[in-house]
Structure 1
Amino acid sequence: MDLQGKVAVVTGGGRGLGLGYARALAAAGAAVVVNDVAPDMVGAAVDALRSEGGRAAGVVAAVGDSAAAEELVDAAVDAFGRLDVLVTNAGILRDCVLWKMTDDDFDAVVRVHLRGTFTCARAAAVRMREQGTGGRLVLISSPAGQRGNFGQTNYAAAKAGIVAMARTWAMELARAGVTVNAVVPVAATGMTRTIPAFAPFIDAAERTGAPLPRWLRRDEGLGTVEDVAALITFLASDASAGVTGQAIGIGGDRLALWAHPKEKAVAFADGGWSADAIAAGWRDGVGAEPETYGIPAPTAPEA
């Protein structure tokens, strides 16, 4: 996959998945602007990319407001002359059940994930439309945004909103040749370690150095950062020119296309529905096969 001549910005690129994305893009030939909030992480990431033969620059900024977004775009243009790819990966967690979640817990996560994606994508879209040569917006979502997850009201809401923005922007930017897709990654990182269902397996793999079990890589789609990064490289490339408005999952050995929400069951009543009529017909009608919710806990196969 050849990304020579392309310039990418990766938010939250100082560690974890973001650093994996930056390294994969640089390895494919793209110049990469790495963004994170910690100067030491940005510096280390830039040094790593350059030591591996890549071209890289760094920006220390907390995404969320317009000024930070414009700083990232300007850095790409100043250092490398253009902007072709934006990967909105920056994120934080403030997990807590609904009745204990504070306003600050909610606002902080939504600001970084949802507002940060919005402001960075807007600044990138302006630049890409001015260049007139198309571009790629790769927005990082999560299984929590697709299914919900216990204790993650703020995170799930933000990640669901990111997928909705991808679908909307795919329409709005189509004429400019800018594709917009949401990636739903699952990988063994510091952030996924906070998910109780995955933590024991990640910890065990790190203690022993052994790979994650095959059933976990295939059935649950949980693998390494490198497993996920390949999709980012594909979506940044010319090979993905016809792919837009999609939510694409990847992790371990698993690559998946997430369905968009749609009506699953429909019933009609002449003149409209009364509450009594809905109650009478619910179990055998529209509600006969209710949807599941939440991320299923990993279940190891029986020996």
Structure 2
Amino acid sequence: MGTAGATGGGVDLSGRTAVVTGSGRGLGLGYARALSAAGAAVVVNDVDAEAAESAAKAIVEAGGRAVAVAAAVGSAETADALVSAAVDNFGRLDVMVTNAGVLRDKVLWKMTDEDFDTVVDVHLRGTFTCVRAAAIRMREQGGGGRIIVAGSPTGQRGTFGQTNYAAAKAGIVGMMRTWAMELARDEITVNALIPVAATAMTRTIPFFAPHVEALTRDGIPLPDALRKGEGFGTVEDVAGLVVFLASDAAAQVNGQAIGIGGDRLALWSHPSERAVSFAAGGGGWSAEQIAAVWPSTFGRSPETVGVPAPQL
């Protein structure tokens, strides 16, 4: 990754090139702008060509370096095109940020095959193809690299009506842990950010909707109960974690799922056995034996499901 690092009280990404998928607007645009402000050249990607071109133009006008690639994330062809855009325009690829995503929310019994496949293709397959293409390039050029994938609280805990999204986001974090091991020898770190911010996606959540509307329409700041209590803030609140993970300061951070939003920064735990019991006599567990011990062992404090309801 070269010699760039924390200098002058800031993080210097000069000489590095980043790809940010789904960066025509929302969180992705915030990541692209922040990476550019830290000195990185950026490949902006969006399925909306106008949004991608507009975002790249804004970065250039602000003094940065950026090119746009309009394409839907998911296929290997798009992943290869994004990596090629970085190499052809800026000579190398140092950072891959997989942010692109869509929603098709419905309860299980109303969710169609198309609803499921569309979300999984963009989030899960799109992350896989882009990270694979990035890893191949980073290993070939040497010098390490940074891969940052986007998870979600929904993938960590589940959310009503989001079977497809929860599956994809949980899968992304699972892949991240595997890639962190596979790429460690090449000094390529792989981490997941778990962001919570006022975006078009969170605008669909009834509790957050009025606060997001007040922020975007009237510029009314989010209340502390949201920023601290719920870890819910602006796009700009999240972008600093991406810049950090892209920098030399995060060289030893690998295989982690890191939450950020509002004024909250958090490290998510990996799944682990919370409680264990052993069958007496070495004969294994029968259904009857499990039924007999469950209420007084595991049944006393079962794991909760779902993202906790916001409290103000």
Q: Which amino acid aligns with 2:278?
A: F
Q: Where in structure 2 are the equivalents of 1:49-128 lying within 5 Å? A: 49-128=59-138
The residue that corresponds to 1:167 in the other structure is 177
Q: Which amino acid aligns with 2:298?
A: V
The residue that corresponds to 2:165 in the other structure is 155
CA distance in 1, matches of 2:292, 2:225: 43
1:277 matched to 2:267? The reply is no
Matching residue within 210, 213, 223 for 2:223 = 213
Structure 2: give runs of 5+ residues left out of the alignment: 1-10
1:46 matched to 2:80? The reply is no
Describe the superposition over 1:220-272 as per-residue Cα deviations: whole angstroms up to 9, x where unpaired: 00000000000000000011000000000000000000000000000010311
Residue range with higher mean Cα deviation, 177-186 or 274-283? 274-283
CA distance in 1, matches of 2:215, 2:98: 28
Deviation at 1:146? 0.3
The residue that corresponds to 1:253 in the other structure is 263
1:293 matched to 2:305? The reply is yes
The CA RMSD over aligned residues, in Å, is 0.8
SS of residue matched to 2:39: coil
SS of residue matched to 1:79: helix
Deviation at 1:147? 0.5
Deviation at 1:195? 1.9
The residue that corresponds to 2:237 in the other structure is 227
CA distance in 1, matches of 2:89, 2:101: 25
CA distance in 2, matches of 1:274, 1:198: 47
SS of residue matched to 2:36: helix
Identity %: 70
1:144 matched to 2:141? The reply is no
Structure 1: give runs of 5+ residues left out of the alignment: none
Q: Which amino acid aligns with 1:136?
A: R
1:26 matched to 2:36? The reply is yes
Aligned residues: 300
CA distance in 2, matches of 1:287, 1:201: 38
SS of residue matched to 1:283: helix
CA distance in 1, matches of 2:36, 2:157: 33
Q: Give the TM-score of the pair, scaled to structure 2.
A: 0.95
